Amino acid sequence: MYAYDEIDRTLVNERVAEFRDQVRRRLSGELTEDEFKMLRLQNGVYLQLHAYMFRVAIPYGTLSSKQLRRLAHVARRYDRGYGHFTTRQNIQFNWIKLAELPDALADLAEVGIHSMQTSGNNTRNVTSDQWAGVAPGEVEDPRIWSEILRQYTTLHPEFSFLPRKFKFAITASAHDRAAIKIHDIGLRLHKNDQGETGFEVQVGGGLGRTPFIGKTIKPFVHGRDLLSYVEAIMRVYNQYGRRDNIYKARIKILVHELGVEKFAQEVEEEWQQTRDGALKLDEEVVEDIRSRFFYPAYEKLPHMPDELRKAAQDPKFEAWRTNSVFPHKAQGYAIVTVSLKPVGGPPGDATADQMDALADLADRYSFGEIRVGHEQNLALPHVARRDLPELWKALDKLGLATPNVNLISDIIACPGLDYCSLANARSIPIAQELTRRFANHETANLIGRLHINISGCINACGHHHVGHIGILGVEKNGEEVYQITIGGRADEQAELGTLIGPAVKFDEVADVIEDVVEAYLALRSRPDELFVDTVKRLGVEPFRERVYATR
């Protein structure tokens, strides 16, 4: 956990006071809606179909139990008793009243949470691996650098009015859980031959209307130069990014239009002018940030305690353990993913009661810490393996032990037309229907790892391009229809999915997905060949035939 000091607290409080003044001026008519819109967006406030939506940042996906309880309080006091975790380590509340927003922000500020820049054309929440600091084999905890970037990008005087939104993600593991290749800047932490920390810098990834996988513009930027190099990228983008067309304004388009070599060269020239300036990070400054992250004092515990051995006789426990429990860097401990994907439920939603109860469980079993992942699940990052059976029972009572992590019903979905004013089609009911179709745990297990991602419009908040199966809702002649892609992935081998054929109607989506899955089961070379690998080996054609032969 990162602990705010007086300086961080002061800034957040000053921001709350500023926003309170802005809301007051809007309500009195001093500010026009046009003027207010950008100000509210920069505080995470959207106007949606039914009400204002409020998006709160969970930087690099790390929460304390105290913070999670405060999110529960906001859900209960200012909203309708639940919140929605997003693909970018944010939580959204859907029914907030504008006049009450400053109070909600002030309540959050007391526990060091804010909504700064969770929307608007500025740098968004800096995201990272939800297993940061606990994953075995990790090079170094990427949250130190995420926090340095969070501070650097917060209220930046030069980059608060960029051509378009701008997203960072960082990973420090060989397996990328932060989807860095679909971010404006993706940073892969690694060490050079001298053992010094630095970053491979990828630029211009992103989904939306024109999806791109990020391209490497520098294989190693030393940690001390991270901020000056990032500033050079942002400065090139701020000056030359397109502002004439909202759909061409992201940095990916600039990188594409200039060509990656030319873009890299522009950045290099700018960086050479500033690299020895005030942004250079000395070791002492990095150490100071590092020193304010708390790490638990782990006990020496056995890998296979009696409690676990005994519980292994219960098939329901085993089903959950196999899919939800992951190796930890400390012996005797585990990382537990908490599924927010119950059968028939909207993906990523949690009630205030669930949040409060999970905060209690985090205190009892996970040193008071909770993580949020881009797959819209939560995690308890420091669970002693001997406590797993008890934790499972408690989670199960709360409806948080669905044994489907990484399986077909662990679906990523945006809010879609049920809430969002940009959406063309519904996402949540599609996800709900699919979880019902694949509710049988034996079947889901037989299918194995398979990610379905659903977006209700081309803006791709549900990351459909990089789902093993991607579902994109569009509107055609006043009707919701859905395009299906297969073969996408968001990890270190990121790839965009390929369309399998013409769009299908709302009522047909689940049938089509079942056909795709049946085709996979028939086509896979062995039971452990994953869906995405079968698609890679065979291409989309055999899937297309299967789905459209009878349609």
Chain residues that interact with other proteins, rule: CB under 8 A? 5, 7-8, 10-11, 14, 17-18, 22, 30, 35, 38-39, 121, 151-152, 154-162, 235, 238-239, 243, 273, 277-279, 284-285, 288
Helix (H) or strand (E) holding 477: none
Taking alpha carbons only, the member of 88, 82, 151, 155 closest to residue 122 is 155
- Rounded least distance, CB 517 to other proteins, Å: 46
For residues 43 and 432, which CB has a smaller minimum distance to other proteins in the complex? 43
135-139 LR contacts (CB < 8 Å, sep 24+): 135/173, 135/329, 135/335, 136/327, 136/328, 136/329, 137/173, 137/174, 137/329, 138/172, 138/173, 138/329, 139/172, 139/173, 139/189, 139/190, 139/191, 139/197
Three-state SS at 453:
strand
The DSSP letter of residue 140 is S
Residue whose tokens read 């990070």: 281
For residues 122 and 404, which CB has a smaller minimum distance to other proteins in the complex? 122
Q: What is the dihedral of CA 72, 84, 144, 460, to 10 degrees?
A: -170
Three-state SS at 68:
helix
Helices (H) and strands (E) in the chain, counts: 18, 21
User: Do 213 and 182 touch, CB atoms closer than 8 A?
Assistant: yes
Structure tokens at 21: 């003044």
For residues 292 and 437, which CB has a smaller minimum distance to other proteins in the complex? 292
Taking alpha carbons only, the member of 228, 174, 235, 226 closest to residue 201 is 226
- Rounded least distance, CB 14 to other proteins, Å: 5
- Rounded least distance, CB 159 to other proteins, Å: 7
For residues 159 and 320, which CB has a smaller minimum distance to other proteins in the complex? 159
- Rounded least distance, CB 289 to other proteins, Å: 8
- Rounded least distance, CB 161 to other proteins, Å: 3
For residues 166 and 367, which CB has a smaller minimum distance to other proteins in the complex? 166
For residues 41 and 91, which CB has a smaller minimum distance to other proteins in the complex? 41
- Rounded least distance, CB 251 to other proteins, Å: 14
User: Do 62 and 371 touch, CB atoms closer than 8 A?
Assistant: yes
For residues 34 and 528, which CB has a smaller minimum distance to other proteins in the complex? 34
- Rounded least distance, CB 217 to other proteins, Å: 19
